[in-house]
Amino acid sequence: MSDYITVIFEPAGAKVQVSVGTNLYEAGQQAGVEIAGSCGGYGICGECQVILMEGEVSELTSQERKLLDPALIEEGVRLACQTELLGDAVVRVPSVQEVVVRKALTAESVRSVQLAPNVQRYDLELAEPSLEDQRSDFRRLAEAITERASSLTATVECLGSLATALRAEDQQIAVTAVGSELVDVRPASMRSPALGVAVDIGTSTVAVYLVDLETGEHLVTAAGQNPQTKFGADVISRIQYANSHDDGLTALRDTIVAAINRFIGQAVTEVGAAPIDVYEATIVGNTCMHHIFLGLEPRYLAQSPYVPVTAEAVSVSADRLGLQMNPWGNVFCLPCIAGFVGADTVGVIVASELTRRDRPMLAVDIGTNGEIALWSGERLLTASCAAGPAFEGAQIHHGMRAGPGAIDEVFVSGDDLAVHTIDDQPARGICGSGLFDATAVLLELGLIDAKGHIADGQSCGTLSATMAERVEGEANERHVVLAGAERAAGGPIVFTQRDVREIQLAKSAIRASTEMLLEIVGLKPDDLDEVLIAGAFGNFINPASALRIGLLPDVPEGRIAGIGNAAGAGAILTLVSGHERDYARQVVETAEHIELFRSSDFQDRFAEYMMFP
């Protein structure tokens, strides 16, 4: 009898053989199946929920009883890291894809540009060589492509297949060039698509946008959690991981490369192509993600004076990075601006054409780290601030990411509070846009005062009784029930005094930074033509709420626009257009990065904007 048991992970159908006693999280990793999780398998984060369909596993642990509500347990939900396999099993992994599809870039959010990719496809029929025309195969080919034939080169592998390819179908061939280098030549009948991928490496999620480089069409998106999450939820903890483990950087790098490879594989499979058809990748991400992806020491990003190893655009052959695409394809990493203003911000600026505008504009990317880019009409200023992970649902009592069951809207309905949840599922927590709304609504109701104290419901004379009853607890332990047991999946979802403090810290950091930048260029908020909110949940934020809590400078609500994953859009634009790639380089040359925290003015401003308007 074998000691090995077979586990099948649905819906992927991934099958793996493991030894008895392996936990489901490890088994998932071995099967190449992505299971959420950010605590490293200690049963703390409660994110690695899977559903046991069939099979024998270990008993529920005390951690599971604590973190999973009884309804979930009844449905067969287990925490993968707590569940040991005792026999063959079939397990369903809730799709994180659902989350991503909501966040993912829609084709419309990418402005249209003239197609001018770095990858070119040529369909040619060459003249037969003869004693009158003894030009080499390569020269014959290069001269058919351009009059400036001497500007072209070819990989040795391409040269290696050239003679045979030319003679297979009477000199009819399909040729692919990456930049000025020919990387593929094959008989015409073996022509395949020329694809590219724009890759957005977010701290939490990774998105791969597959693009047809001959048409510029965005074909499909494959995305999911950034599996580096298992090494730490934010960039600082990942840098610490790299610093404190032998080969820590390698482990982080291998993890993200494997994830990107998986998404590339999913995307090309969906369109019936192969990874080798992908000839170029453009990469955006914050400076830490950028450094880890390239294998660059991230340690000094987190130490004063916060210098990156490089901030230049980097072009490197795919095989050098281990990306599973055409090995001679090019990987173009957009440039960064500073240690905490990365290629993602450059992508946002490219996507929004910030510095091509006549009038002042502000772009704010809200995440654990807030990045702010201000265009005065003449100068481009950038700054970063540690907003903390509150807006992404972390460190919030019932915070969660924007997935099914997340409260994403909070509003007054009649004489009571009401909430909307993603996919109309029973409420499981609050995501960023819900936190904004909740704070704004409670401020309007007088349940939160300017200093951020949650008032005693009974002492707020203007409240309905229903509303007042939502306030529970005393003083610093007070909270507001957003969704009672009847609406929630695992007990009431509450918004706590501590949550308000986190919101205050986060919004104040962003607001103080913005105001400082405006002052430096001598502008007032009202001079801003537009305020763009980038980032995954930018599109879902209620501008009125953002203004009400004082996150944004005081502009008319109509000037605020969510622009979604603009960093990803920037990656797509630089994938399909060399001009946009030049623009990205120019943005970085133009940018003046301001280290705000050094200024005592900033500290004063930060304290001031802790208050709600």
284/396 with CB nearer its own copies: 284
DSSP secondary structure letters along 436-473: HHHHHHHHHHTSB-TT-PBPPGGG-TTS-HHHHHTEES
**Single residue of 112, 136, 425, 466 touching its own copies by CB under 8 A:** 136
- 252 — phi, psi (to 5°)? -65, -45
38/287 with CB nearer its own copies: 287
Supply 535's token pair: 């980032």
215/599 with CB nearer its own copies: 599
147/424 with CB nearer its own copies: 147
Site string for its own copies, 301-320 (x = CB under 8 A): ---xxxxxxxxx-xxx---x
- 241 — phi, psi (to 5°)? -60, -45
Interactions with its own copies, residue window 565-604 (CB under 8 A): 593, 595, 598
**Single residue of 90, 179, 214, 300 touching its own copies by CB under 8 A:** 300
10/169 with CB nearer its own copies: 169
Residues in the chain: 613
Select from 14-22, 161-169, 343-351, 431-439 the region that touches its own copies (CB under 8 A).
161-169
- Residues paired with 121 in a beta bridge: 176
**Single residue of 104, 219, 321, 510 touching its own copies by CB under 8 A:** 321
- Residues paired with 333 in a beta bridge: 283, 314
**Single residue of 133, 246, 358, 474 touching its own copies by CB under 8 A:** 133
Rounded Cα gap, residues 140 and 125, in angstroms: 10
Supply 275's token pair: 């990874």
Q: Are 575 and 558 in contact (CB under 8 A)?
A: no
Q: What amino acid is encoded at 513 in this protein?
A: S
416 binds its own copies (CB under 8 A): no
131 binds its own copies (CB under 8 A): yes
- Residues paired with 330 in a beta bridge: 280, 317
104/584 with CB nearer its own copies: 584
Rounded Cα gap, residues 572 and 218, in angstroms: 8
Q: Are 574 and 469 in contact (CB under 8 A)?
A: no
451/598 with CB nearer its own copies: 598
**Single residue of 106, 112, 151, 164 touching its own copies by CB under 8 A:** 164
299 binds its own copies (CB under 8 A): yes
Q: Are 180 and 152 in contact (CB under 8 A)?
A: yes
Total chain residues near its own copies (CB under 8 A): 48
For residue 59, count CB atoms less than 10 angstroms from its CB and return exposed for 0-12, middle for 13-18, buried for 19 or more: exposed
89/321 with CB nearer its own copies: 321
Minimum distance between the CB of residue 23 and its own copies, rounded to whole angstroms?
34
Site string for its own copies, 355-394 (x = CB under 8 A): ----------------------------------------
- Residues paired with 222 in a beta bridge: 208
Site string for its own copies, 459-478 (x = CB under 8 A): --------------------
299/501 with CB nearer its own copies: 299
Nearest CA among 601, 509, 518, 599 for reference residue 550:
509
Q: Count other C-beta atoms under 10 Å from residue 123's C-beta.
A: 10
Nearest CA among 347, 342, 398, 406 for reference residue 368:
342
114/244 with CB nearer its own copies: 244
What is the 3 state secondary structure string of 513-531?
HHHHHHHHCCCCHHHCCEE
Site string for its own copies, 91-110 (x = CB under 8 A): --------------------
67/281 with CB nearer its own copies: 281
**Single residue of 55, 94, 129, 491 touching its own copies by CB under 8 A:** 129
Question: How many contiguous H segments (helices) and E segments (strands) does the chain have?
Answer: 18, 27
Quote the DSSP letter at residue 151: G
Minimum distance between the CB of residue 593 and its own copies, rounded to whole angstroms?
7
Interactions with its own copies, residue window 322-341 (CB under 8 A): 338-339
The number of angstroms, rounded, from the C-alpha of 590 to the middle of its chain's C-alpha atoms is 25
337/573 with CB nearer its own copies: 337
297 binds its own copies (CB under 8 A): yes
Minimum distance between the CB of residue 152 and its own copies, rounded to whole angstroms?
9
Minimum distance between the CB of residue 305 and its own copies, rounded to whole angstroms?
5
Site string for its own copies, 137-156 (x = CB under 8 A): xxxx---------x--xxxx
162/363 with CB nearer its own copies: 162
Rounded Cα gap, residues 200 and 202, in angstroms: 6
**Single residue of 295, 473, 525, 578 touching its own copies by CB under 8 A:** 295
Integer angstrom CA distances of residue 274 from 264, 279, 325: 9, 11, 8
Helix (H) or strand (E) run with residue 217 in it: none
163 binds its own copies (CB under 8 A): yes
Tokens 């073996």 locate to 190
Rounded Cα gap, residues 561 and 358, in angstroms: 18
Q: What amino acid is encoded at 407 in this protein?
A: I
Rounded Cα gap, residues 456 and 473, in angstroms: 8
Which stretches of the chain bind its own copies, using CB under 8 A?
129-131, 133-140, 150, 153-157, 159-160, 162-164, 167, 294-297, 299-300, 304-312, 314-316, 320-321, 338-339, 593, 595, 598
